[in-house]
Structure 1
Amino acid sequence: MSFRFLIVSFDGLRPDLVSPELMPNLCRLKTVGVTLANHRTVYPSETRSAFPSLVTGATTGCHGMVGNKYLDRSVTAPRFIDTSDAVLLRRLDLESGGRLYSAPSLGEIMAAAGRSLAVLATNTPGTTRLFHHKAEDFGHVRLSGHFREACTPDDVLAAIEAQIGPLPPTPPKNEPDHVGQHWITSAFLDVVWPQYRPDITILSYGEPDVTSHFHGTGAEATRSIITHCDRQFGRVLDWWEAEGRQAGVQIFAISDHGHITGHTRVSVADSLRAGGFNPSDAPAPDGEVVLVPGQVGALYLADPNEAKITRLVATITSEPWCGPVFTSGKDEINGIAPGSLSNNLVFADHVRAPDVAFSFRADDTVDPFGLVGGTFYDNDRAPGLGLHGGLHPKELAAVGIVGGSAFPDVGSASTLSSGICDVAPTILHLLGIDAPKTMGGRVLDELLRPASPPELSVRGEIFEARLGSYKQVLRRVTVGDTSYVESGMAEN
């Protein structure tokens, strides 16, 4: 029997929120599948870095989506890029001759093999496009639960709207998105699967991420939308048990990152000014350093010489909010600025990478909902809300559960480290399609052959950097030839 694959993603779902009370259906998959107990995302732990890693099987430094937002210095006048904009991403891909990604994506690979990839998502329009940024070039299905500009082909969208109802309007950001999750689930079950039977389908629920950002990771509204998404997944699981499994469908249930809780608001721009810099949030004639907004700090200097980078790192590492800091590599471990580590250690060295990247300082405080993980932050929201992007273990922890005939050790858990980059090479292996050399993820052979698992060496690695009273510690684990970032923390 030939395999088909369904990847179901829950954006921003922490693994420790997968419980029988909140998510009985995802727990039902655990009983008939295999749980990846040490599954992680990439750095930065942002959605539009992580999902490109899902579809390229590569880390940020390889595929080039270095953050939700970045500064494009490949053009004469540097420009600020917000990757939530699907129309902008299409234009960038066309302008660059098809090189939006610096690595082949799953949709391109499948098309070259005469196979299909379908996407149904309620994430931002840009995220939806990034799952399969060339879908219109191959006639593949890509549907947003809200945004027409991310949908293709037009006739497929029209047929779905005629059968299950019009594309739902985008709900206000402070309201959980119930309708969108139901719509994309119905679109898959009622139209996309029965009429098109894609070789791979990505069904991406944009929750609980948005609700966590605006209500808190353990808030009642967030718990409610988690349960709602689980009910939609229950519809999918019912279909799989009645029909999909017999048709050779293998399920990957994943998340792209976790959340921790913001506890202390700060102003990075004020700290930079106090350090003698003139920051701006976009390229400007008199701007000395562009500060890209977000929970992962990205600093782009107008004149990125080593002396200025060194002074910039010294400025931020003297602040109590500063967590791990990365610059281009002086060697395999150290960055060019004292106190920084090399971008290479977190697999984030790319031409689009900032001159200085930092995470806000995180800790293991317990939030009002009883969840471990707190952090400094820089935005206009109140304390107590969900955040991600950095290197706290709870930000990097991701859901990973697989089910189907390819994974025979049902009801078990694999304790070997795995990551979001491993999904694509495992799928291609099962389809008999050669993975490109850009895929740094590994085939999860231990799930495919549990009776005779491969002998893989496992070793931990610790890297440190210091500057005055500032110290950062990065932890990784390597399985065979594949390394995963476990955590990065800083202290004074």
Structure 2
Amino acid sequence: MDRNYRFVIVSFDGLRPDLIGPELTPHLWRMKAAGVTLAKHRTVYPSETRSAFPSLVTGATTDRHGMVGNKYLDRAVTPPRYIDTSDAVLLRRLDVESGGRLYSAPSLGEILATNGRSLAVLATNTPGTTRLFHHKAENFGHVRLSGHFREACTPDDVLTEIETRIGPLPPAPPKIELDRTGQDWITSAFLEIVWPKYRPDVTILSYGEPDVTSHFHGTGAEATRSIIAHCDRQFGRVLDWWEAEGRRAGVQILAISDHGHITGHTQVSVADSLRGAGFNPGTAPSPDVDVVVVPGQVGSLYLANSDQENVARLVAAMTSERWCGPVFTRAKDDINGIAAGSLSNRLVFAEHSRAPDVAFCFRSDDTVDPFGLVGGTFYDNDRRAGLGLHGGLHPKELAAVGLIAGSVFPNTGCASFLASGICDIAPTILYLLGIEPLHTMSGRVLHELLRRSKAVDLPVREESFATHLGGYTQVLRREHVGAACYIAGGWGSC
């Protein structure tokens, strides 16, 4: 097999697959005709950006790479500290302090560097997300560029060269405004400098939209559709380059997203509910706080006293609330958590030393929002109803874009209905480069898509798990393809 392949992964943060169409996204639609659509492509739990993208680059679920959420409580130090992974400077410090163990599994950039190859990253996500794509880029002299944040950029001379050629790094706009300039800047940087001069073996080009606009305007709102169309036009520039030059140079192109969105319909307060049940919650550790409620759409609760009785009391309080969806605690056995009514966090691949004592999703449903999109949820933030949210286990949150085209993917204009996921991309790329995927990877090589790949008869099965407590019921569904397992959805109701 020819190993002189290169790969360009183009990511659209938070894009629902069902928003791709010939009118709104003609260039993504064009790619569908040029390649294979992964029709059952999914992300990991929690369906948050800074858990999902680490899964992209490690090929591993959250329990293996350790990025347990966008935010988490670090209890490896005394006193415990609250970690916001959007902070690139903090992430670098954590990696150095831990002796290079920010991730609990090797990442794609590290593996490529060990094998004499390179990973370039260009992203308009938060500075922390940009670093997480390749958190050791400066160690290897690899290119990592943020479309807005200088602290996430390396090497300095590459940034200087690009600013000289295409213009200064644009400032990040307020979140309520559409980020067009950043997407334009990173696209031009890749096409005009990074590709022609550095020819990375793998490039991640990550558009931080439509995620932000969906959060502040709504997933199907006019503003969100506008930024989707704009990102698609920038992708069109990349696709034009690929058709004219990249394909002949052995470039395989992938278009992905890290998660979908559903719509918040009912505002609640988790802290108020827990306070009413006799707890003293807070958003950061302190002597008078007995449960830390980590802000976010995926629920993370850290108890000051995490013995089984206290965990059970917390779960009992939560499952009596109308907003409570699926709940997970540390394992009692292969299925059940230590608290009645909870499932084991192993079932959603969330067991890690950084994991919360109780992880939960807000209760979601299949209501249709004002834009005609299926998926609604309770939520806990200070924004109005009708805006996009993610983090949980609704199938529309888990659904992710997966489009692949290139010389090694022979079936054009078709769809694969075998389950796949964000963890499968890194092992597939490594396999095609002749590098053995690591044992830490939970994803699989997508052999069924590859030209000249040995036919593999993969057993496929589905399974579901349920538990009850009083009037509360939850159900989790998963799919297996060979040794790989994908979460299909989770629901809870009172």
**Bucket of the pairwise TM-score, normalised by the shorter protein:** over 0.9
Is 1:107 the counterpart of 2:109? The answer is yes
Partner of 1:355: 357
Match of 1:120 in 2: 122
Residue deviations 1:71-115, cap 9 Å, x none? 000001100000000000000000000000000000000000010
Give 1:451 deviation, angstroms: 8.8
Paired letter, 1:220: E
**1:453, distance to aligned residue in structure 2 (A):** 4.0
Contact 1:408 1:450 survives alignment (8 Å): no
Could you list the per-position Cα deviations for residues 135-158 of structure 1 after superposition, in whole angstroms to 9, with x for gaps in the alignment? 000000000000000000000000
> What SS does structure 2 have at the residue aligned with 1:174?
coil
Aligned to 1:485: 487
Q: Name 1:315's counterpart in structure 2.
A: 317
**RMSD after superposition:** 0.8
Identify which of 6, 16, 21 aligns with 1:14: 16
Runs of 4+, deviation exceeding 2 Å = 449-453
**Cα-to-partner distance string for 1:231-259 (whole Å, 9 max, x where unaligned):** 00000000000000000000111000000
Partner of 1:345: 347
1:5 match: secondary structure: strand
Deviation for aligned residue 1:452: 6.8
Aligned length: 492
Q: Hey, what does 2:160 align to over in structure 1?
A: 158
Could you tell me how far apart the structure 2 residues matched to 1:230 and 1:414 are?
23
Indicate which of 341, 366, 386 corresponds to 2:368: 366
1:232 pairs with 2:242: no
- In structure 1, give the amino acid aligned to 2:395: P
1:389 aligned residue: 391
Q: Which residue of 2 aligns with 1:32?
A: 34
Match of 1:448 among 447, 450, 454: 450
Distance 2:159 2:453 in 1: 45
Aligned counterparts of 2:193 and 2:62: Cα–Cα separation in 1 = 34
> In structure 2, which of residues 96, 120, 123 is the aligned counterpart of residue 94 of structure 1?
96
**CA–CA separation in structure 1 for the residues paired with 2:348 and 2:282:** 26
Asked if structure 1 preserves the Cα contact closer than 8 Å seen for 2:299 and 2:360, the reply is yes
Q: Distance in 1 between matches of 2:140 and 2:380?
A: 41
**SS of 1:484's equivalent?**
strand
Q: Which residue of 2 aligns with 1:304?
A: 306
Match of 2:174 among 172, 193, 207: 172
Residues 148-185 of structure 1 deviation map (CA, whole Å, 9 limit, x = unaligned): 00000000000000000000011000011000000000
Identity score, percent: 77
CA distance, structure 2, for counterparts of residue 81 and residue 45 of structure 1: 18
Q: TM-score, normalised by structure 2?
A: 0.99
| Equivalent position SS for 1:335 | coil
What residue in structure 1 maps to residue 244 of structure 2?
242
Q: Which runs of 5+ in 2 are unaligned?
A: none
Correspondence for 1:417: 419
For 1:244 and 1:221, locate their aligned partners in 2 and report how far apart those are by CA, in whole Å.
Answer: 32
SS of structure 2 residue aligned to 1:416? coil
Provide the C-alpha distance between the structure 1 equivalents of 2:402 and 2:249, rounded to a whole number of angstroms: 22
| Aligned partner (choices 57, 60, 65) of residue 59 of structure 2 | 57
Q: Contact 2:447 / 2:453 at 8 angstroms: preserved in 1?
A: no
The residue identity in structure 2 corresponding to 1:290 is V
Q: Distance in 2 between matches of 1:266 and 1:360?
A: 10
Q: Does 1:80 align with 2:79?
A: no
Match of 2:282 in 1: 280
Shift of 1:15: 0.3
**Aligned residue type for 1:318:** S
Corresponding residue SS for 2:418: strand
Pick from 42, 45, 56 the counterpart of residue 43 of structure 1: 45
User: Which residue is 1:470 aligned to?
Assistant: 472
1:459-479, Cα deviation, whole Å (9 max, x unpaired): 000000110000000000000
Query: How much has 1:491 moved relative to structure 2?
Result: 1.5
Which secondary structure state, in structure 1, belongs to the residue aligned with residue 39 of structure 2?
strand
1:436 counterpart residue number: 438
TM-score, with normalisation over the residues of structure 1? 0.99
How far is 1:319 from its partner? 0.1
Is the 8 Å Cα contact of residues 34 and 407 (structure 1) preserved in structure 2? yes
1-structure distance, mates of 2:423, 2:45: 12
Note the alpha carbon deviations across 1:413-432, whole angstroms, 9 max, x for none. Answer: 00000000000000000000
